Amino acid sequence: MTAPRAEIARAEVMCRERGVRLTDQRRRVLEILCAAGRPVGAYEIMDAMREGPRVVAPPTVYRALEFLLEQGLIHKIESLHAFVGCDHPEHPHSSEFLICLECGDVAELKDDAVERSLASVTRESGFLPRRRVVEVMGICARCARKEECARKEEADRVRGLVD
């Protein structure tokens, strides 16, 4: 929830270099996504924008999202119908996510092993990839540890009762 100054500044520069306009609406959406640091749905973004001066309608949000996606500044997470700011938008890349079912945390993979293995599989079959969606739902390391502790405590408690 830190102010996403750095991300915005970076985006400004990238857009200027490319000759595209990071307008108020687009910047606002990017700010909301970066500040959240988690997947946010389009309608939630819309609500967040309402807090400002004016009311916005769905197309406004979706248009801003479309632009940010094109520029590689954000990613869409298909399995959540939600969007996240990109960690490292400097170079265009396909995104891969680890999504925690417990705490909702989302981590963007930077490793390209998956990308390479996908590339080799598709090349073999003559398929020309354009966009990749790789999303793994599961339990993140932190939640796994927490659950492990809880299990232990429970076991201890039961042992205590039996004694």
Partner DNA sequence: GGACGACATGATATCTTATAACGTGCCGAC
Partner DNA sequence: GTCGGCACGTTATAAGATATCATGTCGTCC
Query: Which is closer to its own copies, CB of 35 or CB of 135?
Result: 135
The residue among 56, 62, 67, 88 whose CA lies nearest residue 22 is: 67
Q: Which is nearer to its own copies, 26 or 97 (CB)?
A: 97
Q: Residues 20, 47, 117, 154: which binds its own copies (CB under 8 A)?
A: 117
Whole-angstrom Cα distance, residue 65 to residue 86?
A: 13
* Residues forming the site for DNA (CB under 7 A): 20-21, 23-26, 41-44, 54-60, 62-64, 67, 81-82
- DSSP H/E element including 84: strand 82-85
Minimum gap (Å) between residue 8 Cβ and DNA: 15
Residue 86 binds: one of its own copies, DNA, Zn ion, none (C-beta under 5 to 8 A by kind): Zn ion
Rounded Cα distance between 141 and 103, Å, is: 11
Residue 135 contact among DNA, its own copies, Zn ion, none, beta carbon within 5 to 8 Å by kind: its own copies
> Residue type for 162, please?
V
Here the tokens at position 104 are 């909702």
CA distance 132 to 21: 26
Q: Count of residues binding its own copies (CB under 8 A)? A: 34
d(CA 11, CA 73): 7
Question: Among residues 24 and 154, whose Cβ is nearest to DNA?
Answer: 24
| Residues binding Zn ion (CB under 5 A) | 86, 95, 100, 102-103, 105, 140, 143
